[in-house]
């Protein structure tokens, strides 16, 4: 076998690594693949030899030295290992076999601060580092993910041909994902769902916010399902059909589509529907938490994203909830009679809340770019999320359009299309949140999104009182509405000093 013939290398052959490697091979690139346990690599290669048209472009490597030896210079090596310690360990073990100019690409869900640190460390050794978000799950990795690379522009220029080739493609005019990729037959043409996001940790930050939005998108869908079930008494299949119908309109998205599939799925292990047999506790791996934490740290009101994380935390307290359900009482949910009307109202509540969720995610990125010195192009971000990723949706085209009209848009809700959608949806949205409250059905995502909308559109909030409280107990000072901003006052609060109203 010739040495130095592979265009790129892959470390980590769990499903995402295997599938991305095959996607790369399908696009005509030769890829050297390595796994910590060589047996896994060998099994992968031998399975591919049986089933995959592009298997001749996969080169197995049993050691990191062998992997490095098989790569064209400067080397490009993708890491798809468990984010965190494993990434650092893998980089450390790889270092002895790398040379100045080589590029390490981390495709895991890394924390952006780790990516900033890793890039700095590798740069100091003459190496280059790209932290790339990879979204789309197993199928995305295999047939076209959305890719969010961050790193130096010149490192990106070298990776770009491969990333552009393997990314999902959307139609240039409509932004609709191009279907039809199959093993050995990649989609031809279209606009790739990838772009250089910015330096160092920018790509991983944007991928993290993508996941934060994914959390709230999923939570909103779950609340819609729960309302349809508890206010209309619908069975899973009937709710599935509602989601299928919604998927034909402006809510059309991957998550709505798979929700329809899930709800219509019979239980393979017995009677009834699959979803009714799944334990109601949700897991999480950290990216939603990081998004909420970053929002808190940067002072950005991403309350619905945080609620989506808390909703998972609350769901995880299954045993406590079961016990509490025997002690704490609420209203009995009353069935609504007008099904068509309520379905339409929930649809509007879902769409309006979704607009707020995205507004929060984009507002967070707008703040983060100032703090981390990035210059994010929000229209492009929405563009590369139109296909391949988990939050892909028809709706993303509207966000792209909004930033094309006004690249400095302060908040998505202010764009004319989204403003009008909120105006026309809000009566239904309020009705749904009220019904949920009156019937004791928890809807933290719907409710917090509505509170965000109402808060953001309020010229005055009760923070005047809050600031006065702070001044009262801590002399934290306050500004006055009748004085220029930036001038701070303090009232002498002890009762004897306090000025009294003139009689
Ligand atoms: C994606 C997904 C993917 C994964 C997340 C969410 O974009 O393909 O976001 O990265 O599903 O890690 O994981 P948790 O729900 O477990 O936090």
- Whether 137 lines ligand 1, by a CB cut-off of 6 Å, is yes
Nearest protein CA to atom 14 of ligand 1, as residue = 284
The model's pTM is: 0.96
Nearest protein CA to atom 11 of ligand 1, as residue = 137
Q: Which two tokens stand for residue 133?
A: 């978000």
Average pLDDT, the chain: 96
- Whether 334 lines ligand 1, by a CB cut-off of 6 Å, is no
pLDDT value, residue 501: 79
The candidate with the shortest Cα–Cα distance to 468, out of 479, 459, 458, is: 479
For the chain, what percent of residues have pLDDT higher than 90? Answer: 94
pLDDT value, residue 3: 67
Tens digits of per-residue pLDDT, 182-224?
Answer: 999 988 899 999 999 999 999 999 999 999 999 999 999 999 9
With 0-12 / 13-18 / 19 or more C-beta atoms within 10 angstroms meaning exposed / middle / buried, residue 395 is: buried
Mutational test site, ligand 1, from 15, 80, 84, 109, max ligand atoms within 8 Å of CB: 109
Residues 421/407, Cβ–Cβ less than 8 Å: no
- What's the angle, vertex CA 127, arms to CA 121 and CA 133, rounded to 5? 75
Pairing of strands 169-170, 191-192: antiparallel
- Whether 136 lines ligand 1, by a CB cut-off of 6 Å, is yes
Instruction: Provide the greatest CA pair distance for the chain.
Output: 99
Tens digits of per-residue pLDDT, 363-377?
Answer: 999 999 999 999 999
For residue 180, pLDDT over 90 is answered with no
Annotated active-site positions, please? 207, 214
Mutational test site, ligand 1, from 193, 211, 218, max ligand atoms within 8 Å of CB: 211
Nearest protein CA to atom 1 of ligand 1, as residue = 135
Q: Give the separation between CA 140 and CA 261, rounded to whole angstroms.
A: 18
pLDDT value, residue 18: 98
- Whether 389 lines ligand 1, by a CB cut-off of 6 Å, is yes
CB atoms within 10 A of CB 121: 15
Q: How does residue 181 score in pLDDT terms, banded at 50, 70 and 90?
A: confident
Q: How does residue 254 score in pLDDT terms, banded at 50, 70 and 90?
A: very high
- Whether 116 lines ligand 1, by a CB cut-off of 6 Å, is no
Would the CA dihedral through 292, 293, 298, 301 be positive or negative? positive
Tens digits of per-residue pLDDT, 67-106?
Answer: 999 999 999 999 999 999 999 999 999 999 999 999 999 9
Atom of ligand 1 minimally distant from the CA of 391: 7
User: φ and ψ at 466, to 5 degrees?
Assistant: -60, -45
Q: Which two tokens stand for residue 71?
A: 């790569």
Mutational test site, ligand 1, from 111, 139, 205, 214, max ligand atoms within 8 Å of CB: 214
Nearest protein CA to atom 7 of ligand 1, as residue = 135
pLDDT value, residue 70: 97
Interval between CA 211 and ligand 1 midpoint (Å) = 6
Q: Give the separation between CA 358 and CA 213, rounded to whole angstroms.
A: 7
- Whether 132 lines ligand 1, by a CB cut-off of 6 Å, is no
Residues 389/209, Cβ–Cβ less than 8 Å: no
Interval between CA 79 and ligand 1 midpoint (Å) = 17
Domains and CATH numbers, the chain: 8-200 (3.40.50.720), 205-456 (1.10.1040.10), 463-502 (1.20.5.320)
- Whether 19 lines ligand 1, by a CB cut-off of 6 Å, is no
Tens digits of per-residue pLDDT, 271-318?
Answer: 999 999 999 999 999 999 999 999 999 999 999 999 999 999 999 999
pLDDT value, residue 469: 98
Q: Give the separation between CA 142 and CA 357, rounded to whole angstroms.
A: 29
The arithmetic mean of pLDDT across residues 416-423, rounded, is 98
Helices 303-316 and 287-298: angle between axes, nearest 10 degrees:
140
DSSP line for 432-495: HHHHHHHTT---HHHHHHHHHHHHHT-S--THHHHHHHHHHHH---B--TTS-TT--B----ST
- Whether 135 lines ligand 1, by a CB cut-off of 6 Å, is yes
Question: How far is residue 475 from each of residues 253, 468, 488, 490, 497, measured CA to CA in Å?
Answer: 51, 9, 11, 6, 14
CB atoms within 10 A of CB 315: 17
- Whether 211 lines ligand 1, by a CB cut-off of 6 Å, is yes
């Amino acid at each position: 076998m010739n040495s130095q013939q592979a265009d790129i290398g892959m470390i980590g052959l769990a499903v995402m690594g295997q599938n991305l490697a095959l996607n790369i091979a399908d696009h005509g690139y030769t890829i050297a693949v390595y796994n910590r346990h060589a047996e896994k690599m060998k099994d992968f290669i031998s399975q591919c030899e049986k089933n995959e048209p592009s298997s001749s472009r996969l080169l197995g490597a049993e050691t990191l030295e062998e992997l490095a030896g098989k790569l064209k210079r400067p080397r490009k090596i993708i890491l798809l290992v468990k984010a965190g310690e494993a990434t650092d360990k893998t980089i450390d073990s790889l270092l002895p076999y790398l040379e100045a100019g080589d590029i390490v690409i981390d495709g895991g869900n890394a924390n952006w601060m780790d990516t900033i640190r890793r890039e700095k460390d590798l740069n100091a050794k003459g190496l280059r580092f790209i932290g790339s978000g990879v979204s789309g799950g197993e199928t995305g990795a295999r047939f076209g993910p959305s890719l969010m690379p961050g790193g130096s522009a010149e490192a990106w220029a070298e990776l770009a041909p491969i990333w552009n080739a393997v990314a999902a493609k959307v139609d240039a005019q409509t932004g609709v994902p191009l279907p039809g990729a199959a093993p050995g037959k990649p989609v031809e043409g279209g606009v790739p769902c990838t772009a250089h996001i910015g330096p160092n940790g920018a790509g991983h930050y944007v991928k993290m916010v993508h996941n934060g939005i994914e959390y709230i998108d999923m939570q909103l869908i779950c609340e819609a399902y729960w309302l349809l079930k508890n206010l209309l008494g619908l069975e899973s299949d009937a709710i599935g059909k509602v989601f299928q119908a919604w998927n034909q309109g402006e809510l059309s998205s991957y998550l709505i589509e798979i929700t329809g599939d899930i709800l219509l799925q019979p239980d393979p292990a017995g009677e009834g529907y699959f979803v009714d047999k799944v334990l109601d506790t949700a897991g999480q791996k950290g990216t939603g938490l990081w998004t909420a934490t970053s929002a808190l740290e940067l002072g950005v009101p991403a309350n619905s994203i945080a609620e989506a994380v808390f909703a998972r935390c609350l769901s995880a307290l299954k045993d406590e909830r079961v016990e509490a359900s025997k002690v704490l009482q609420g209203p009995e949910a009353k069935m609504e009679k007008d099904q068509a009307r309520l379905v339409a109202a929930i649809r509007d509540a879902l769409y309006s809340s979704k607009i707020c969720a995205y507004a929060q995610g984009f507002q967070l990125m707008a703040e983060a770019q100032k703090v981390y010195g990035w210059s994010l192009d929000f229209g492009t971000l929405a563009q590369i999320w139109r296909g391949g990723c988990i939050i892909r949706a028809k709706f993303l085209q509207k966000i792209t359009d909004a930033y094309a009209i006004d690249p400095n848009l302060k908040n998505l809700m202010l764009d004319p299309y989204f403003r009008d959608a909120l105006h026309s949806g809000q009566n239904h949205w309020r009705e749904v949140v009220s019904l949920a409250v009156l019937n004791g059905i928890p809807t933290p995502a719907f409710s917090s999104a509505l509170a965000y909308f109402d808060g953001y559109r309020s010229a005055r909030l009760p923070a005047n009182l809050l600031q006065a409280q702070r001044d009262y107990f801590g002399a934290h000072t306050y500004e006055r509405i009748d004085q220029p901003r930036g001038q701070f006052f303090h009232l002498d609060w002890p009762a004897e000093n306090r000025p009294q109203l003139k009689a």
